[in-house]
Amino acid sequence: MELGGVQGTSDDAAVSKLSACLLGYYEDDFMRIFVGKETRRSPLINRGYFARVAAMDMIIERFMEATASGQRQIVVLGAGSDTTYFRLRKRGFLPDLYVEMDLEGVVAKKLDVIRHYEHVQEALGVTAGDVDAALASPPSARLLRSKNYVLTCADVRQPELFETVLSSLEGFDFSAPTLFISECVLCYVEPRDSEQFLRWALGKFPHAAFTSYEQILPDDAFGRTMLGHFESRGCPLLAIKSFPDIQAQTRRFETMGWPQVEVFDMNDVYYKCIPRSQVRHAERIEIFDEFEEWHMMQAHYCVILTSRSQDNRLEGLRLL
């Protein structure tokens, strides 16, 4: 099933993640099933995806450590074919609830893959019947659920529906610390829509953290090429013009009232935040001499981490 426009970007991410993990940049036992045709990416792209996944993993790990004493939840916006749930499960590191949300086409496609693999159903704690029932439901009620895992449809541009979906999940607790992950998702959403979502999350959750991986610096030659690439694929980067750099991204969250905001470009994340042992491992995998392109590419992506907690529970959740 080929998805177009913004939903098709999920397949691109999956192909690149698979390329990186088949070469050994990181371990992932489940990515293979979500990709139709394997394609080996360049060392530059592989290293970039390694850094992206390592950054998100590191934030999840810090969130889990900061909230170790009680209930906690992770909500993945635009989860696509992401397989983080399986990797966390393998490490015995799951939160009480791990909720994946995406647009209807992507969720249907993910369910269709899950339907074909018994070992995946087993890892998720669901049955083939559960998957069939989810596929047979209308998209507005489509839900695959086990004790720790939820896959469902939700559009981040509609926070009121988002709230309805989350409220309907047994065990979901708006007062429990909750990490929202947007890995290349809010970049495709009009700034007024992402603002509405982020204000809603801030108002609704007393202990919330939000992380995003997204593009910056649209105005130089690399940035213009990057914008053109996404536009030609029918999925323009809608956020980057309003939040073109680290300062604008920081202001974006601070003016909404998120109290603790860190934004770093991926050069800083790679060289200062990701555990050195992982970086050393990644750097041994492929011959790599494109350092100028590497630093330029990484300067065009950033990680945002912000949190607020009424009792300072999330204060230690930081990039640096």
- 159 binds ligand SAM, rule: CB under 6 A: no
Q: Is 24 exposed, middle or buried (0-12, 13-18, 19+ CB in 10 A)?
A: middle
Among 18, 55, 103, 238, which residue sits at the site for ligand SAM (rule: CB under 6 A)?
A: 103
- Tell me which residue of 186, 214, 217, 242 sits closest to 296, measured CA to CA: 217
Among 31, 106, 123, 144, which residue sits at the site for ligand SAM (rule: CB under 6 A)?
A: 106
Q: DSSP letter string over 144-157?
A: EE-SSEEEEE--TT
Among 57, 82, 100, 268, which residue sits at the site for ligand SAM (rule: CB under 6 A)?
A: 82
Please check whether residue 230 is in contact with residue 237, taking contact to mean a CB–CB distance below 8 angstroms: yes
Can you tell me the distance from the alpha carbon of 63 to that of 85, in angstroms, rounded to the nearest whole number?
15
Among 28, 57, 100, 102, which residue sits at the site for ligand SAM (rule: CB under 6 A)?
A: 102
Among 58, 59, 74, 79, which residue sits at the site for ligand SAM (rule: CB under 6 A)?
A: 79
Scanning 74-82, 160-168, 202-210, 265-273 for contacts with ligand SAM by CB under 6 A, the matching segment is 74-82
- 198 binds ligand SAM, rule: CB under 6 A: no
Q: Which is nearer to ligand SAM, 13 or 58 (CB)?
A: 13
Scanning 7-15, 218-226, 239-247, 298-306 for contacts with ligand SAM by CB under 6 A, the matching segment is 7-15
Q: Is 291 exposed, middle or buried (0-12, 13-18, 19+ CB in 10 A)?
A: exposed
- 48 binds ligand SAM, rule: CB under 6 A: no
> Residues 93-119, buried b or exposed e (16+ Cβ, 10 A)?
ebbbbbbbbbbebbbbbbbebbbeeee
Residues forming the site for ligand SAM (CB under 6 A): 6-7, 9-10, 13, 77-80, 82, 102-103, 106, 155-157, 183-185, 188-189
